[in-house]
Amino acid sequence: MNRAIIAALIAAIAIGGALGAFAATRTVDTTASVDVRVWRRISDGELFISTRPHDAEDWDTVNEPLDLSGLSRSGQFQLSNQVTVDIPVSVEVDVPDSVRTGPTPRPAPTTIPSDTPVAGPCCEVDGMETNPTARQQVVDVMQEVIDFALDTYELTHAGPITIHISHSVTGLFARYEAAFGEELDELPDTCSFQEGEHIFFGPQCRDDDLAIASEWFIRALGTGDVNPSWIGHGVRDYFAHHFADGAVPVITEDRFRRVQFYERARDIRQDRASDDMMTLAMLYAITEYGDFADWLRFYGSVVAGLEAGFAFESVFAVSLDRFYEDFEEWADHQKIILISTAFSSCQDASESIRPQQDPSGSSAGFPNYRVPLEVDDDEDGIVCEGFTSSDQ
């Protein structure tokens, strides 16, 4: 906590109030009383200060250190205790005689964070000027994400957002150069990526609700220096899928069964797991040991600087090493079940389970982990698309 920064902010607020009340006097000696609450955003450590006028008299200056053990309901802010500070103010004000016949109007208050976060602004759009419909659609979805996050989780972002879209993947290079004045040798991702206030969407993702939601939640939460990195990914994925799917992720979804079948659970311990495996580990933790609010407390503690093992045991009452062991044992057992219930062919599968739509909605098939001998050429998690049973 940088007390010098806080003191300077308090002084600036107090002086602003004194000027509004006594602007017709050349020299003002007074005391300004303000209630103060400090917010530390977990995603990036930035400090915010909430204030309100206080009418009590003869209060002494509070010198005790601020206690940041509180946590906001959304889990995104650490909260200090509220303190009230009386600050002596002496201000020299030069007012022309022609305007000294009446009081100086009180300046409009500056907007500062309150107990209820206010949604950040959305959005400027760059690119595809010849297609205003596509431009507006991406803004509309981004605004829906912002409103959802505020209403559901009391979570918002700070600062402006500029969305960059293009007709083609190569067009993203031009959008990046226009934004930053330098060329990229290679795109960070052809689907979507961001840098600063700029978010870029390739043609396959500019109308993808999940991609738009994911980028916004990365912006709001930050990537942070979270170690191990899977801890933060689980939070962002949980939020984004809640928006895109209309429901929070559950441990029985096909995408999680798929990673149980094809991947190694111990990759979590080594912090090199796939995105879905990272989210699966988070879901296992909140299923076995607590709930999502507990995970937010754990995540916030790690972002704030606590060692992951200590923070995990403090929140979930089990060591992180024991969690890894339990998760790996559980995932290995689930894999045995999936292997034992797999089918050897599309024909075998068609006799026992119903086909389901592939992500494009243009065809139907079976989850690739249910028919593992079939090749998933398009890597969409569905095989046997277009298969017609010999019984038909």
The structure tokens listed for 329 are: 């044992």
Tell me, yes or no, whether 121 and 218 share the same domain: yes
Give the chain's radius of gyration (CA, Å): 27
Q: Is residue 185 part of a domain?
A: yes
* Domain termination residue (choose one: 202, 222, 242): 222
For position 70, what pLDDT does the model report?
Answer: 60
Tell me, yes or no, whether 203 and 139 share the same domain: yes
Tell me, yes or no, whether 88 and 180 share the same domain: no
What is the 3-state secondary structure of 269-298?
Answer: CCCCCCHHHHHHHHHHHHHHCCCHHHHHHH
Using a 10 angstrom Cβ sphere, with 0-12 exposed, 13-18 middle and 19 or more buried, the burial of residue 15 is middle
* Contact call for residues 338 and 261 (beta carbons, < 8 A): yes
pLDDT in tens, 69-112: 665 544 545 555 555 555 555 545 444 443 333 333 333 333 33
For position 51, what pLDDT does the model report?
Answer: 59
Q: Is residue 186 part of a domain?
A: yes
Tell me, yes or no, whether 158 and 190 share the same domain: yes
Tell me, yes or no, whether 216 and 132 share the same domain: yes
Cis upstream peptide for 123 (omega within 30°): yes
pLDDT in tens, 302-335: 988 899 999 999 999 999 999 999 999 999 999 9
Q: State the residue range of the domain holding 36.
A: 3-99
Residue 43 pLDDT level (bands cut at 50, 70, 90) = low
Percentage of residues of the chain with pLDDT beyond 90: 53
User: What mean pLDDT do residues 18-42 have?
Assistant: 50
Q: Is the pLDDT of residue 198 over 90?
A: yes
Q: Is residue 305 part of a domain?
A: no
pLDDT in tens, 354-367: 998 888 777 889 99
CATH number at residue 191: 3.30.2010
pLDDT in tens, 367-389: 999 999 999 888 889 998 888 77
User: What mean pLDDT do residues 279-286 have?
Assistant: 96
Tell me, yes or no, whether 9 and 95 share the same domain: yes
What is the 3-state secondary structure of 154-212?
Answer: CCCCCCCCEEEECCCHHHHHHHHHHHHCCCCCCCCCCCEEEECCEEEECCCCCCCHHHH
Tell me, yes or no, whether 23 and 67 share the same domain: yes
* Domain termination residue (choose one: 69, 99, 129): 99
Q: Is 11 helix (H, G, I), strand (E, B) or coil?
A: helix
Q: Which of 129-143, 182-196, 358-372 has the lowest mean pLDDT?
A: 358-372
Tell me, yes or no, whether 136 and 212 share the same domain: yes
Q: Is residue 303 part of a domain?
A: no
The structure tokens listed for 179 are: 């934004």
Q: Is residue 210 part of a domain?
A: yes
Count of domains forming the chain: 2
For position 158, what pLDDT does the model report?
Answer: 86
* Domain termination residue (choose one: 162, 190, 222): 222
Tell me, yes or no, whether 128 and 194 share the same domain: yes
For position 261, what pLDDT does the model report?
Answer: 95
Residue 241 pLDDT level (bands cut at 50, 70, 90) = very high
Report the predicted TM-score, pTM, of the whole model to 2 decimal places: 0.67
User: Mean pLDDT, the chain, as a whole number?
Assistant: 78
Rounded to whole angstroms, what are the CA distances from 345 to 307, 364, 376? 48, 15, 13
Tell me, yes or no, whether 121 and 89 share the same domain: no
DSSP labels, 235-251: HHHHHHHHHHHSS---T
Q: Is residue 354 part of a domain?
A: no
Tell me, yes or no, whether 130 and 90 share the same domain: no
For position 39, what pLDDT does the model report?
Answer: 58
Q: Is the pLDDT of residue 223 over 90?
A: no
For position 90, what pLDDT does the model report?
Answer: 53
**Alpha carbon 297 to chain centroid distance?**
14
Tell me, yes or no, whether 81 and 156 share the same domain: no
Q: Is residue 265 part of a domain?
A: no
